[in-house]
Amino acid sequence: MPLWFCRVCGLDYDESPWGPDEHTPDHTLCGCCGAEFGYHDATPASARQFRAQWLASGAGWFYPNLRPASWQPAEQLAQIPVAYQ
């Protein structure tokens, strides 16, 4: 069961890239949208801005080989934490 969802695109993760305290980002990149955790998602406004750019550019996967064959963008976007929608 996923523990954490990307604040930009809603991709599910088994571990938070923001650390157990949710205040220590590891600055890795989201496999889907390419957001840098701790930078592009540091605030709700920055997450919304990066999301808008990602969607406007076609919502391509940053690491295309990780994209599930049955990927449904709307379902994934619905998983974005409420504060970052």
Residue 2 is predicted with a pLDDT of 62
Residues 36-80 have pLDDT tens digits of 999 999 999 999 999 999 999 999 999 999 999 999 999 999 999
Sign of CA dihedral 65, 67, 35, 12: negative
Sequence-distant (6+) residues with CB within 8 A of 41 are: 6, 7, 8, 35, 47, 50, 84
Residue 3 is predicted with a pLDDT of 86
Please tell me what DSSP assigns to residue 66.
G
Residue 1 is predicted with a pLDDT of 59
